Amino acid sequence: MDSYIRKIRDESPTFQSHIYLNHASTGPLHGRTAEALKKFSTHWAESNFEEVYVACEEVKSQFAQLINATAEEIVFTPDVTHGTKIAVNMLEYDKKSNIVCYWNDYPGQVYQALYLKEKKNVEYRPVPDKKNEILVEGFADKIDENTKIVLLSHVQWLSGYKSNVKEIAKIAHENGAYILVDSIQSTGALVNDVKDWDIDFLTCGVAKWLIGPNHKGLFYINKKLIDEFYPPFAGYHGTDFGSRDEPYWNVNKLEFLPSVDKFMDTNPGNLLYYVANAGMKILLDYGVDKIEKRIMHLTDYLFEKLDELKNIELITSRNKENRSGIVNARIPNNVEIVKKLKEKKIIVSSRYGGIRISPHFYNKEEDIDRLLELIKQYHS
């Protein structure tokens, strides 16, 4: 274990008392994020928010680094699902239109397709899987010249399956469709590249693998499309507020900003982005390439240990090209086992009939050893 990982663990209030292997749910509290919470309270007490504003704007540039975009293509959203809502609601649909999405994707994705089906009579084309694998061919079978948008999570929240975004985006564009990628189970853990993928929209949250707080999101829109679309929702943060003296906003005319910020229809909430800024710096200081390699090493080790158990079924693919930081193993009495593990201060999740385990780069092999030691005990 290198000195940076040791330092991150030593500074974390969570790791002082817990073995935390639940990043697919939410991130633990780290030393830097805990310090950011304290500093924000000082700024609040002094009514001095200039440093806060600067740090919040840094979040855009840091997130842009993590997905190979520019800060000018990033806008704040209330959460990851809101980004999907922006994308699907600013498109125009007719009676032939359809929307394509993996049938068992995160509800925030699927529900947008179902909503359009109910509200606007847009045909919803669910993509099946093959033993939890989401194949390119499955999307190719559903996408056609009437597809308006394809919704896809880069990494699936239940199985950890990593899809071939680049190939699916190519099929979408060949048929004149847009594509939106939900990267909340990927950004911060794996290398993301919106330019190489050639995607139109990406939505993410600052929690989970980005180790920030819950309930704040980030939305990417390809800069070539910013001027093309009219915001689907109106909010005063997406308009020109003019001077801070009277009259502030022009309430006689709706004038959106000429930048990506025109899509920001709610108050961003500075506290949570201020904390998120500190979390992202932890990742960028180590480097996402190194993070991905470290996570793949840990999940390799986890697979080896799980192979020692009897009467389990791996939901997660073993194929390297489809792997992520999530490993899910179906085990009898999974819910009860997860509760017992929590009593021992080991944090994982029960999902889809299995125990979902999601280590980050600062976890160590000993964390996995202790986890499997107790699972064997409770499983026998």
Condensed to tens digits (0 to 9), the pLDDT of residues 181-214 reads 999 999 999 999 999 999 999 999 999 999 999 9
Look over the chain and give the mean of its residue pLDDT values, rounded to a whole number. 95
Terminal Cα-to-Cα distance of the chain (whole angstroms): 32
pLDDT digits 0-9 by tens, 93-127:
999 999 999 999 999 999 999 999 999 999 999 99
Q: Check residue 250 and give its pLDDT.
A: 80
Chain-centroid distance, C-alpha 199: 16
Q: Check residue 252 and give its pLDDT.
A: 84
Q: Check residue 246 and give its pLDDT.
A: 63
pLDDT digits 0-9 by tens, 239-252:
887 766 665 788 88
Using CA atoms, how far residue 352 sits from 160, 189, 278, 341, in Å, is: 12, 22, 32, 18
Q: What is the rounded distance in angstroms from the CA atom of residue 29 to the CA atom of residue 35?
A: 10
Share of residues in the chain with pLDDT > 90 (%): 92
Q: Is 179 helix (H, G, I), strand (E, B) or coil?
A: strand
The residue-averaged pLDDT of 294-316 equals: 95
Helical packing angle, 270-286 and 50-67, nearest 10°: 50
With a cut of 80, say whether residue 9 has pLDDT above it: yes
Q: Which domains does the chain have, with CATH numbers?
A: 3-26+287-379 (3.90.1150.10), 38-282 (3.40.640.10)
On whether the CB atoms of residues 161 and 328 are closer than 8 A, the answer is no
The residue-averaged pLDDT of 253-258 equals: 90
Q: What is the rounded distance in angstroms from the CA atom of residue 339 to the CA atom of residue 370?
A: 15
With a cut of 80, say whether residue 59 has pLDDT above it: yes
- DSSP string across 321-332: GG--S-EEEE-T
Q: Check residue 311 and give its pLDDT.
A: 87
With a cut of 90, say whether residue 351 has pLDDT above it: yes
This prediction's pTM: 0.96
The residue-averaged pLDDT of 366-372 equals: 98
The residue-averaged pLDDT of 87-93 equals: 97
Strand order of the β-sheet with 327-330 is 313-314, 327-330, 354-357, 349-351
User: Of 332, 379, 331, which is closest to residue 357 (Cα–Cα)?
Assistant: 331
In sequence order, what are the beta bridge partners of 76?
A: 218
Q: Check residue 144 and give its pLDDT.
A: 98
The residue-averaged pLDDT of 46-73 equals: 95
Q: What is the rounded distance in angstroms from the CA atom of residue 87 to the CA atom of residue 149?
A: 9
Using CA atoms, how far residue 194 sits from 61, 78, 84, 221, 226, in Å, is: 14, 21, 16, 10, 15
